[in-house]
């Protein structure tokens, strides 16, 4: 028996996606980015509506220069983990910059956002503790719960009453209760009702961790995320985030006012047993953070663009989530239709993400689109027109 | 309340049969993944429904050891007795 035979179901699912000559949606190559909003795919200039580059900062000249200068000054790698030879002056500087940005006492920087969730969740919730996760949590949160030894309980998506009920069932049991929510959920772009979760946390004495991966740089007056936008930052004990979305680089972090965070450096395996970020990434991230702080208008443009895309797709008769947010997903019913729709969009020069169940909420296939502050209104209108054309071709436009 | 494995098992079967996609011939010894063709997400979502009906939370790590409907019922009964 082959070691791969357990994946026969997966192989046939993939074969059915590519049957009829369709592309493998998990194997699209962006040959080269031309700008933050346009990339070369299959030799064609293609509008990018499926990145997490919300502010367009992956192409920021200031960040690029900072990376070049840092590589020249410090080299291109650290060859070591944060607790051995991998902490350089730049790592400390970046942690101090993030602490100042979030106005929190402590910051730990990880090599990816995925590891930031893995490393904080697995270390914070120990053997006798309880982890309470939103049912639609990102894979990195679920994986963090499996790396640790806490008891894991799911609550209904974005439902603070359901969380409350589950915390009530745990009343009187020893052990800390750590609740994990996200700021903006990555599949549907829906926003957490953070104030409601903060109230439950206060009432029950639980701890609250918010993964603001998609909301930092996007929400809040200063870009600190949904906790800032909702005025409940004091109730959020730990904010986890990533550099790979609004900041345009790679890496992750956790910030907190709890002094105990420094102890986590000595027991978080995804922090301890992997190489630290290279100097050029740190320098680019700090430069991108400066851009984010100095250009609040980027957030305003981003939300204007989000509303334009959301309204345009709805006017085209497509079903989307209720809220205009930088992630706007078109919800379809049938996987084969979603696959054909996605292929046709790419033929016509628009790249979006095809998201298939079980990775999507409610078993619906999604065409996940995301906007950037750097999209022009003309680019958004063009993408909406292409969506409308394909929907008509496929007989999908419901009367709006 | 005094749930028994048999009564909880019957309740689970009844809840499952409300879903038209579930085979009609299930019973306590049906295997949740194999016989019901549930993926991991579907299992977690269906357990959530049962949790609400019986006012109990089943930690995810407990699900790893559960194969049949009766296993799930026994797990729920032991959780209820412990609380
Ligand atoms: C909600 C959420 N958390 C964490 C991550 C992981 O971040 P990264 O890709 O930077 O490792 C992602 C994105 O992949 C995400 O969507």
User: For position A373, which CATH number holds?
Assistant: 3.90.1150.10
A196 burial level (CB within 10 Å; 0-12, 13-18, 19+) = middle
Whether residue A364 is found in the same domain as residue A275 = no
In-domain check, residue A8? no
Residue A21 DSSP one-character state: G
Give me B49's structure tokens: 């429904």
Test mutation, B1, B59, B62, B63, chain A, max A CBs within 10 A: B59
pLDDT at B2: 74
| Residues spanned by the domain of A336 | 16-55+296-394
- CA-to-CA separations, A236 to A129, A244, A257, A292, B38, in angstroms, rounded: 18, 22, 10, 22, 36
Residue B7: in which H helix or E strand, if any?
A: helix B5-17
In-domain check, residue A136? yes
> Would the ipTM clear 0.85, i.e. be above it?
yes
Whether residue A108 is found in the same domain as residue A221 = yes
Give me B55's structure tokens: 């006012």
Whether residue A112 is found in the same domain as residue A231 = yes
In-domain check, residue A357? yes
Q: What is the full per-residue pLDDT of chain B (83 aa) written as tens digits?
A: 578 999 999 999 999 998 888 899 999 999 988 888 888 888 898 899 999 989 999 999 888 889 999 999 999 999 988 87
* Biggest distance spanned by C-alpha atoms of chain A: 62
Phi/psi of residue A115, nearest 5 degrees: -70, -30
A275 burial level (CB within 10 Å; 0-12, 13-18, 19+) = middle
- Inter-chain contact B61–A151, Cβ cutoff 8 Å? yes
User: For position A283, which CATH number holds?
Assistant: 3.40.640.10
Test mutation, B52, B60, B61, B83, chain A, max A CBs within 10 A: B60
Overall number of domains in chain B: 1
Whether residue A286 is found in the same domain as residue A305 = no
Question: Which of A52, A112, A114, A288 has the most ligand 1 atoms within 8 A of CB, as the residue to mutate?
Answer: A114
- Count CA within 13 A, CB hemisphere, residue A326: 32
Q: In which band, very low, low, confident or very high, does the pLDDT at A363 lie, cut at 50, 70 and 90?
A: confident
- Inter-chain contact B39–A358, Cβ cutoff 8 Å? yes
Domain boundary among A245, A273, A294: A294
pLDDT tens-digit map of A86-124: 999 999 999 999 999 999 999 999 999 999 999 999 999
Distance B83 CA to ligand 1 centre (A): 36
Judging by DSSP bridges, how do beta strands A327-331 and A366-370 pair with one another? antiparallel
Q: Are the CB atoms for A236 and A220 separated by under 8 Å? A: no
Say which range, A11-20, A218-227, A370-379, A383-392, has the weakest mean pLDDT: A11-20
Report pTM: 0.95
């Amino acid at each position: 028996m082959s070691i791969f035979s357990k994946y026969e179901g997966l192989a046939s699912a993939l074969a059915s996606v590519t049957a009829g000559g369709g592309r493998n949606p998990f194997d699209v190559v962006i040959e080269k980015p031309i700008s933050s909003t346009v990339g070369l795919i299959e030799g064609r200039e293609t509008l990018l509506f499926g990145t997490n580059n919300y502010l367009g900062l992956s192409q920021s000249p200031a960040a690029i220069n900072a990376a070049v200068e840092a590589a020249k000054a410090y080299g291109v790698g650290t060859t070591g983990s944060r607790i051995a030879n991998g902490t350089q002056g730049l790592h400390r500087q970046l942690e101090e910059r993030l602490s100042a940005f979030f106005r929190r006492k402590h910051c730990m920087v990880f090599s990816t956002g995925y590891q930031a969730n893995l490393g904080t969740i697995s270390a914070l919730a120990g053997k006798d503790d309880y982890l309470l996760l939103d049912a639609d949590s990102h894979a990195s949160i679920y994986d963090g719960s499996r790396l640790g030894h806490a008891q894991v309980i799911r609550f209904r998506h974005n439902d603070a009453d359901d969380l409350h009920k589950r915390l009530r069932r745990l009343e009187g049991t020893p052990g800390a209760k750590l609740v994990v929510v996200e700021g903006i959920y990555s599949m549907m772009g829906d926003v957490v009702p953070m104030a409601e979760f903060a109230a439950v946390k206060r009432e029950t004495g639980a701890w609250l961790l918010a993964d603001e991966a998609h909301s930092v740089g996007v929400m809040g007056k200063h870009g600190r995320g949904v906790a800032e936008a909702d005025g409940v930052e004091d109730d959020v004990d730990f904010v986890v985030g990533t550099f790979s979305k609004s900041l345009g680089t790679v890496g992750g972090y956790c910030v907190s006012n709890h002094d105990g965070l420094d102890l986590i450096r000595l027991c978080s395996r995804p922090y301890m047993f992997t190489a630290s970020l290279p100097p050029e990434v740190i320098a680019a991230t700090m430069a991108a953070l400066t851009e984010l702080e100095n250009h609040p208008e980027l957030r305003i443009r981003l939300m204007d663009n989000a509303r334009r895309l959301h309204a345009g797709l709805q006017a085209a008769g497509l079903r989307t989530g209720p809220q205009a947010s930088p992630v706007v997903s078109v919800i379809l019913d049938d996987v084969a239709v979603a696959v054909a729709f996605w292929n046709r969009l790419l033929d016509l020069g628009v790249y979006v993400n095809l998201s298939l169940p079980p990775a999507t909420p409610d078993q619906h296939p999604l065409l996940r689109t995301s906007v950037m502050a750097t999209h022009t209104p003309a680019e958004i209108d063009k993408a909406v027109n292409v969506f409308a054309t394909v929907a008509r071709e496929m007989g999908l436009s419901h009367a709006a | 309340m005094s749930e028994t494995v048999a009564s909880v098992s019957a309740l689970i079967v009844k809840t499952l049969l409300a879903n038209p996609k579930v085979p009609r011939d299930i019973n306590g010894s049906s295997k949740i993944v194999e016989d019901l063709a549930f993926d991991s997400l579907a299992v977690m979502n269906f357990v959530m429904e049962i949790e609400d009906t019986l006012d109990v939370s089943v930690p995810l790590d407990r699900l790893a050891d559960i194969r049949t409907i009766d296993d799930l019922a026994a797990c729920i009964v032991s959780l209820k007795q412990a609380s």
